[in-house]
Amino acid sequence: MEIERSIISRFKQWKDKPKRKPILLKGARQIGKTWAMEQFGKECFEYTAKLDFDRQPELKQAFSVSKEPARIIKELTLYCDVPLIEGRTLLILDEIQECEEALNALKYFCEDAPGWHIIAAGSLLGVAVKKRRMTVPVGKVEIIRMYPITFREFLRASDSALYEYVENITEPHHLPEVLLNKLKTEYRRYMVCGGMPEAVVAMLENQGMQTVDYTLQNILDLYELDFAKYAEPREIPRIHAIWHSLPSQLSKENRKFIYKVIKSGARSKDYEDALLWLEDAGMIHRINSVSKPNMPLSAYEEPDAFKVYACDCGLLRRLARLPGTIVIDPAANYTEFKGAMAENAVLLSLLDVCGDDTPYYWSSEGKAELEFLIQYEDEIIPIEVKAENCVSGRSIVVYNEKYQPLNRIRYSFLNLQQNCGLLSCPSPLAQWSFKWLH
């Protein structure tokens, strides 16, 4: 089974740009970067030439001899089974972190040969660039961040009729209960498997919970091997400790990241590099607090107050050893961690919607806290996330009384409705919700 990925639409937009730069594709391991690049090639080009610097180290010679694009292309033809024709061939440079000369060559293709369609990607690209002190041709490449499969993509594959129904909702009115219940069921299944393509396929093909968990565990094991392969030896135990502390960090009522949860006496200066490593690897998302919900949010960021979420809700569930049957059961009570799973899943939807506008969170002297703030167009949108049908709490009321935002959103499992600027939205519809704001 192949899952239609929305990032291919973004590639298609890039393909037709008159002033096009090579793409540098970033994202965590095992999210389907290589598949997406190759699928784009199949759909939009006569030829696709994939060059893998890890499997074919001899490719480096083509970039070490010359920086002139025409000369490089001439050399690369010796390694390709398809013609290299400008405008008709997609050139994929995979595992580009293994060849700094190829990374630098993207600058010259941008300046001297913009007619070529080039996408470069690599495993743990951000980590490798920092570790080897490689230079990235800033301003000469278009950096695109790719994430795991979203619930929107999952729903399109699992229930196309329901997906089409949701796509055509134009106003935030109550959904028929039968459709809302279907959405909840699909969303719970998604929270079990997450967005890693292999785990999603296992879920959608009904291969069983054991196969889903086995797949997710293999990915977790691969990530742990990456710690040893790409991190500095002294940082490996710290990276490992932070990664394994995520379930404990998120199980607290106040999900602010606390270093002593990692280890008694742990200090920020000892673990900051390890946190940055996990961020660069795309394995975590750091969400900072803001002192004021004013525009731009980045100007009010509090660097020492933040929460850390996993890159994928399925991996977080498996990391916590939470059985999938518990997540699927509506009556199951797993207290604080149910809220953590809800927040993590909504965050992944927000990242897809808002792109480079990173979410923040807001708290007020310990009296109120909103899970996310989004700078969306010319507004600051406050967002509250509730697990299932539990919508008690006054945080969004406190925020509204203090700042009177034009729009605010509450995600839960209650039905869709809008009332006095508050959009009450089922969590499964988070990726669609912004189009219903006034």
Question: Is residue 99 located within the same domain as residue 175?
Answer: no
Whether the bond into 83 is cis, omega within 30 of 0: no
Q: Are strands 301-310 and 284-290 parallel, antiparallel or unpaired?
A: antiparallel
| Exposure string for 58-89, b = 16+ CB within 10 A, e = fewer | ebeebbeeeeebeebbebbeeebebebeeeeb
Given the DSSP bridges, would you call strands 379-385 and 360-364 parallel, antiparallel or unpaired?
unpaired
138 and 180 fall within a common domain = no
Check whether residue 24 and residue 171 sit in a common domain: no
Is residue 251 classed as helix, strand or coil in its secondary structure? helix
Residue 121 included in any domain:
yes
Indicate the average pLDDT of the chain: 91
Q: Distance between CA 71 and CA 68 in Å, rounded?
A: 5
Confidence (pLDDT) at 224 = 93
pLDDT tens per residue, range 379-413: 999 999 998 777 777 888 888 988 999 999 999 99
Residues 116 and 238 in one domain: no
Structure-token pair, residue 230: 């790409």
pTM, 2 dp: 0.93
What is the domain extent for residue 120? 7-145
The predicted-structure confidence for 327-373, as pLDDT tens digits, reads as follows 988 777 766 788 899 999 999 999 988 776 789 999 887 778 899 99
Whether 394 is in a domain gets the answer yes
**349 in a domain, yes or no?**
yes
We report the CATH number of the domain holding residue 62 as 3.40.50.300
97 and 176 belong to one structural domain: no
Q: Are residues 190 and 52 part of one domain? A: no
Total domains, the chain: 2
pLDDT digits (tens, 9 = 90+) for 218-230: 999 999 999 888 8
> What is the rounded average pLDDT of the residues 72-91?
94
List phi, psi (to 5°) of 121.
-150, 170
Same domain as 175, residue 141: no
Same domain, 349 and 268: yes
Q: What is the pLDDT of residues 9-65, one digit of tens each?
A: 999 999 999 889 999 999 999 999 999 999 999 999 999 999 999 899 899 988 888
CA pair distance 46, 28, nearest whole angstrom: 29
**Residues facing 308 on adjacent strands:** 286
Q: From residue 97, how far is each of 103, 131, 158 by CA, in Å? A: 7, 10, 35
